[in-house]
Amino acid sequence: MSNDGRFAVVHNGIIENYLELRRELIKDGYIFQSETDTETIVHLLELYYDGDIKAAVMKTAARLEGSYALGIVCTDTPDALYVVREASPLILGVGVGENYFASDVTALVSHTKNVIYLEDGEFAKLTPDSITVCDCAGREVKKPISRVTWSVEAAEKGGYEHFMLKEIMEQPAAVKAALAPRIHEGRVQLDGFELGEEELRGISKIIITACGSAYYAGCSGRYAIERLCRVPVQVELASELRPMVDEHTLVLVISQSGETADTIAALKECKARGAKVIGIVNVVGSTIAKLADFTLYTFAGPEIAVATTKGYTTQLTVLYLFALYMAEKLGRIDAESYTTLVKELQHLPRKLQQTIDMNWQIPKLVSRYASHSLFFIGRNTDYAVALEGALKMKEISYLHAESYAAGELKHGTIALIEENQPVIAVCCNEALMDKTLSNIVEVKARGAKVLALSCKGNKKIVSQADDVIFIPRVETVFSAALAVVPLQLLAYYAAKEKGCDIDKPKNLAKSVTVE
Ligand code: M6R
Pocket of ligand 1 (CB under 6 A): 211-214, 255-257, 260, 263, 306-308, 391, 395, 511-512
What is the pLDDT at residue 453?
A: 97
What is the pLDDT at residue 150?
A: 87
What is the pLDDT at residue 142?
A: 95
What is the pLDDT at residue 265?
A: 95
**Percent above pLDDT 90 for the chain:** 89
Q: Indicate which atom in ligand 1 lies nearest the CA of residue 216.
A: 10
**What's the CA gap between 405 and 485, in Å, rounded?**
20
Q: Determine whether domain 152-346 maps to CATH 3.40.640.10.
A: no
What is the pLDDT at residue 152?
A: 81
Classify the phi-psi angles of 412: left when phi > 0, otherwise alpha if psi is within -120 to 50, otherwise beta.
left
| pLDDT tens digits, 35-68 | 999 999 999 999 999 999 999 999 999 999 999 9
Residue of 285, 282, 290, 291 whose CA lies nearest to 312: 282
State which of 164, 253, 257 you would mutate to test the pocket of ligand 1, scoring each by most atoms of that ligand within 8 A of its C-beta: 257
Q: Tell how far the Cα of 213 is from the centroid of ligand 1, in angstroms.
A: 5
| pLDDT tens digits, 151-171 | 888 888 888 999 999 999 999
State which of 260, 510, 513 you would mutate to test the pocket of ligand 1, scoring each by most atoms of that ligand within 8 A of its C-beta: 260
Could you tell me the pLDDT band of residue 193, with boundaries at 50, 70 and 90?
confident
221 within 8 A of 247, measured Cβ to Cβ: no
Q: Tell how far the Cα of 112 is from the centroid of ligand 1, in angstroms.
A: 26
What is the pLDDT at residue 10?
A: 97
Q: Tell how far the Cα of 311 is from the centroid of ligand 1, in angstroms.
A: 9
Q: Tell how far the Cα of 324 is from the centroid of ligand 1, in angstroms.
A: 25
229 within 8 A of 326, measured Cβ to Cβ: yes
| pLDDT tens digits, 95-123 | 999 999 999 898 999 999 999 999 999 99
What is the pLDDT at residue 326?
A: 95
Q: Indicate which atom in ligand 1 lies nearest the CA of residue 256.
A: 3
99 within 8 A of 123, measured Cβ to Cβ: no
What is the pLDDT at residue 113?
A: 94
What is the pLDDT at residue 215?
A: 98
What is the pLDDT at residue 224?
A: 97
State which of 295, 502, 512, 513 you would mutate to test the pocket of ligand 1, scoring each by most atoms of that ligand within 8 A of its C-beta: 512
What is the pLDDT at residue 36?
A: 95
Are the folds of 7-147 and 152-346 the same?
Answer: no
Domain ranges of the chain: 7-147, 152-346, 357-515
Q: Decide which of 3.40.50.1100, 1.10.3720.10, 3.40.50.10490, 3.30.1130.10 is the CATH code for 357-515.
A: 3.40.50.10490
What is the pLDDT at residue 242?
A: 77
Q: Determine whether domain 7-147 maps to CATH 3.40.50.300.
A: no
What is the pLDDT at residue 151?
A: 83
Could you tell me the pLDDT band of residue 31, with boundaries at 50, 70 and 90?
very high
Q: Is the pLDDT of residue 243 over 80?
A: no
Could you tell me the pLDDT band of residue 244, with boundaries at 50, 70 and 90?
confident
Could you tell me the pLDDT band of residue 194, with boundaries at 50, 70 and 90?
confident
Q: Tell how far the Cα of 310 is from the centroid of ligand 1, in angstroms.
A: 12
What is the distance in angstroms between the CA of the first residue and the CA of the last residue of the chain? 26
| Strand ranges (E), 114-168 | 114-117, 123-126, 131-134, 140-141, 146-147
Q: Indicate which atom in ligand 1 lies nearest the CA of residue 309.
A: 16
| pLDDT tens digits, 69-93 | 999 999 999 999 999 999 899 999 9
Q: Is the pLDDT of residue 290 over 80?
A: yes
| pLDDT tens digits, 437-490 | 999 999 999 999 999 999 999 989 999 999 999 999 999 999 999 999 999 999
Q: Tell how far the Cα of 481 is from the centroid of ligand 1, in angstroms.
A: 17
**Percent above pLDDT 70 for the chain:** 100
Pairing state between β 7-15 and 91-94 = unpaired
For atom 10 of ligand 1, the residue with the nearest CA is 213
Q: Indicate which atom in ligand 1 lies nearest the CA of residue 392.
A: 16
Looking at every residue in the chain, the average pLDDT score rounds to 95
State which of 216, 256, 503 you would mutate to test the pocket of ligand 1, scoring each by most atoms of that ligand within 8 A of its C-beta: 256
Q: What is the DSSP string of 464-494?
A: HSSEEEEE----GGGHHHHHHHHHHHHHHHH
Residue 236 CB: number of other CB atoms within 10 A?
18
Q: Indicate which atom in ligand 1 lies nearest the CA of residue 508.
A: 14
Q: Tell how far the Cα of 254 is from the centroid of ligand 1, in angstroms.
A: 10
